[in-house]
Structure 1
Amino acid sequence: MAAVLLLSGCTLGPSQRPALATAGPGSLPPVSTDASSSVSSPPSGAGGAPRTADPVRWTACDTLPTSATADGVRYAVDCATVRPDGSGLLGDPIAVARARADGVPADAPTLVVVSGAPGQNPADAVVAVAAGLSPAVRDAFAVVTVDLAGTGPRGVRCLGSTAGQALLTMGGDPGSPGAAALLAEQSRELTFQCGDEIGPDLTAVNTTTAADQLDAVRDALGGGGLRLLGRGWGATLGAVYADRYPGSVAAMVLDGPADPRAGAVDRLTAVAATAESTFDAFAAACLARQDGCPLGDDPRARVSTLVTDLDTVAGPGSGRATGGSVLLDLVLSLGEPDDWPALADRVAAAGSSGVSAADPLLADLATRVGLVGADGSSVPTSGWTSSALVYGCNDTATRLTSEQLTAAATTARAGAPLFGAFTVGLLGWCGNWPAPDATLGAVRAAGAPPLLVLSSTGDPWAPADGVRALAGQLSSARVVTWQSARSGSYPASACVTGAVEAYLVSGTTPTADVLCPP
Structure 2
Amino acid sequence: MSGLRRRARVAGAVSAVALVALTTACAVGPSQRPPVAVVGGDGMAPPPPPTATTAPPALPRPGPMRPTIRLTDCTADTLAALGNPAQAGGVALRVQCGDIDVPTDPSRRGRGTSRVGVVVTSAADAPRDRPPLLVLGDSATAPSARHGATLATQVSAAVLAGYQVVGLDRRGAGSDLLDCSPEDARLGILDGDTTAPGAATDRVLASVLEDARSVVQDCYLTEPDALTAYSTASTAADVERLREDLGVEQLSAVGIGDGATALTLWASAHPTNVGRLVLDGPPDPAAAEPDVTEARAAGAEQSFDAFAASCAASGSCALGADPRATVTGLLQRLRTQPVAAADGRRLTAGVAVTALFATVGEPRSWPALTSALADADRGVPDAMLALLAPVLGREGRFDSALATACNDTNRRLTPPDVTGLVQRWGGAYPMFGAPLATQLLACAPWPAGAGLPDPGPVPGAPPILALGAAHDPRVGAESVRRAAGALATARLVTWQGTGTGSYPRTPCVAGVVDRMLVQGEMPQADTVCPP
Q: SS of the counterpart of 2:528?
A: strand
Q: What SS does the corresponding residue of 2:497 show, helix, strand or coil?
A: coil
1:501 matched to 2:501 = no
Q: Which residue in 1 is equivalent to 2:229?
A: 204
Aligned equivalents of 2:466, 2:357: Cα separation in 1: 23
Greater mean alpha carbon deviation, residues 501-510 or residues 26-35? 26-35
In the other structure, the counterpart of 2:443 is: 430
Ranked by relative contact order (alpha carbons within 8 Å, sequence separation 6 or more), the top structure is 1
**Cα offset, 1:29, TM superposition:** 5.5
Change (3 A) 1:173 1:474: farther
Q: Which residue of 394, 400, 415 maps to 1:387?
A: 400
Question: Residue type of the partner of 1:61?
Answer: T
CA distance in 2, matches of 1:35, 1:172: 54
Deviation at 1:168, TM superposition (A): 5.2
Q: Aligned runs of 1:131-146 on 2, under 5 Å?
A: 131-146=153-168
The size of the alignment, in residue pairs, is: 469
1:496, CA displacement in angstroms?
A: 0.7
2:427 maps to what in 1? 414
Instruction: Check 1:91–1:336 CA distance in 2 against 1; reply closer, same or farther (3 A cut).
Output: same
Distance 2:163 2:227 in 1: 35
1:309 maps to 2:333: yes
8 A Cα contact 2:135 2:147, kept in partner: no
**Shift of residue 481, structure 1, vs aligned partner:** 0.9
Structure 2 match to 1:84: 102
Equivalence for 1:331: 357
1:35 to 47, 58, 68: 58
Cα distance in 1 for partners of 2:361, 2:146 equals 25
Question: SS state of the match for residue 92, structure 2?
Answer: strand
Equivalent position of 1:20 in the other structure: 34
In 1: Cα distance, 2:250 partner to 2:140 partner: 23
One-letter amino acid of the counterpart of residue 391, structure 1: T
1:61 correspondence with 2:83: no
Q: Is the 8 Å Cα contact of residues 261 and 440 (structure 1) preserved in structure 2? A: no
Flag the 1:89–1:261 CA change in 2: closer, same or farther, 3 A.
farther
Q: Is the 8 A contact 1:75 1:127 kept in 2?
A: no
- State the Cα RMSD in Å: 3.0
The match for 2:457 is 444
Query: Aligned-pair distance for 1:81?
Result: 4.0
Indicate the larger mover: 330-339 or 488-497: 330-339
* Residue of structure 2 aligned with 1:239, choices 264, 271, 281: 264
Cα deviation, residue 465, structure 1:
0.6
Q: CA deviation at 1:67?
A: 10
**Post-superposition offset of 1:457:** 0.9
Alpha carbons 2:136, 2:145 under 8 Å: kept: no
- Report the Cα offset of residue 279 of structure 1: 2.6
The DSSP-based 3-state class of the residue aligned with 2:475 is coil
CA shift digits 1:192-240 (9 cap, x unpaired): 1111111122222211121012112112212411211112232222222
Relative to structure 1, the CA distance from residue 134 to residue 81 in structure 2 (aligned partners, 3 Å threshold; closer, same or farther) is same
Q: 1:336 Cα deviation (Å)? A: 2.3
Pair 1:220-2:242 in alignment: no
Q: Answer yes or no: is the 8 Å Cα contact 2:230–2:403 preserved in 1.
A: yes
Which of these residues, 261, 267, 275, is aligned with residue 250 of structure 1?
275
Q: 1:67 to 1:168 in 2, by over 3 A?
A: closer
Contact 2:136–2:148 (CA under 8 A) maintained in structure 1: no
Deviation, structure 1 residue 313: 2.6
TM-score of the aligned structures, taking structure 2 as reference length: 0.80
| 2: CA distance, partners of 1:166 / 1:36 | 49
SS at match of 1:483: strand
Contact 2:56 2:463 in 1 (8 A): no
Deviation at 1:117, TM superposition (A): 2.1
Contact 1:307 1:326 in 2 (8 A): yes
**Alignment deviations for residues 419-454 of structure 1 (CA, whole Å, 9 cap, x no partner):** 211222221211211112443436321221111111
1:230 is aligned, of 248, 251, 255, to 255
Establish whether residue 288 from structure 1 lines up as the match of residue 313 from structure 2. yes
Check if 1:180 corresponds to 2:180: no
SS of the residue 2:221 aligns to = helix
2:133 to 86, 104, 111: 111
TM-superposed CA distance for 1:246, in Å, is 2.1
Taking structure 1 as reference, are residues 73 and 297 closer, same or farther at Cα in structure 2, changes over 3 Å only? closer
Q: Are residues 1:73 and 2:91 paired? A: yes
8 Å CA contact 1:60–1:77 kept in 2: the answer is no
What is the alpha-carbon distance in structure 2 between the residues aligned to residue 116 and residue 442 of structure 1?
A: 18
1:276 partner SS: helix
Cα gap change, 1:223/1:73 in structure 2, threshold over 3 Å: closer, same or farther?
A: closer
Q: In the TM superposition, what is the alpha-carbon distance from 1:463 to its structure 2 partner? A: 1.1
Contact 1:170 1:325 in 2 (8 A): no
Q: SS at the partner of 2:514?
A: helix
> Where does the alignment leave 5 or more consecutive residues of structure 2 unmatched?
1-30, 61-65
Q: 2:184 aligns with which of 149, 162, 185?
A: 162
Partner of 2:324: 300
Is residue 471 from structure 1 mapped to residue 465 from structure 2 by the alignment?
Answer: no
TM-superposed deviation, 1:100? 2.1
C-alpha separation in 2, matches of 1:338 and 1:70: 13
> SS in structure 2 opposite 1:444?
coil
- 3-state DSSP class of the match of 1:184? helix
> Counterpart of 2:10?
none
| SS of residue paired to 2:439 | helix
Residues 8-67 of structure 1: per-residue CA shift (max 9 Å, x gap) = xxxxxxxxx975122112426567463338xxxxxxxxxxxxxxxxx7434442866699
Q: Report deviation, 1:93.
A: 3.2
**Could you tell me how far apart the structure 2 residues matched to 1:67 and 1:432 are?**
38
Q: What is the CA–CA distance in structure 1 between the aligned matches of 2:262 and 2:36, rounded to whole Å?
A: 28
Task: Please give the secondary structure, in 2, of the residue aligned with 1:24.
Answer: coil
Check whether the contact 2:134–2:254 (CA below 8 A) recurs between aligned residues. yes
CA distance in 2, matches of 1:517, 1:150: 36
1:456 partner letter:
A
Q: Distance in 1 between matches of 2:423 and 2:273?
A: 45
Contact 1:57/1:80 (<8 A) preserved: no
Kindly indicate whether the alpha-carbon contact (under 8 Å) linking 2:410 and 2:450 is maintained by their aligned counterparts in 1. Answer: no
One of 119, 126, 135 as aligned partner of 1:97: 119
Q: CA deviation at 1:416?
A: 1.8
User: Which residue does 1:122 correspond to in 2?
Assistant: 144
Q: In 1, Cα distance between the equivalents of 2:524 and 2:265? A: 23
**1:59-85 CA distance string (max 9 Å, x none):** 442866699785253333434443334
CA distance in 2, matches of 1:270, 1:126: 27
TM-score relative to the length of structure 1: 0.82
Structure 1 position 361, deviation (Å): 1.2
CA contact (8 A) 1:181 1:402 kept: yes
> For 1:209, what is the secondary structure of its paired residue?
helix
* Partner AA of 2:276 in structure 1: A
Q: Helix, strand or coil for the counterpart of 1:152?
A: coil
Q: Quickly say closer, same or farther: Cα 1:343–1:192, change in 2 above 3 A.
A: same
Greater Cα offset, 106-115 or 439-448: 439-448
- 2:372 pairs with 346, 351, 354, which one? 346
The equivalent residue for 2:386 is 363
Aligned equivalent of 1:42: none
3-state DSSP of counterpart to 2:465: strand
Taking the aligned partners of 1:436 and 1:319, their CA distance within structure 2 comes to 36
CA–CA distance in structure 1, aligned partners of residues 468 and 331 of structure 2: 30
Structure 2 CA distance, aligned partners of 1:362 and 1:70?
24
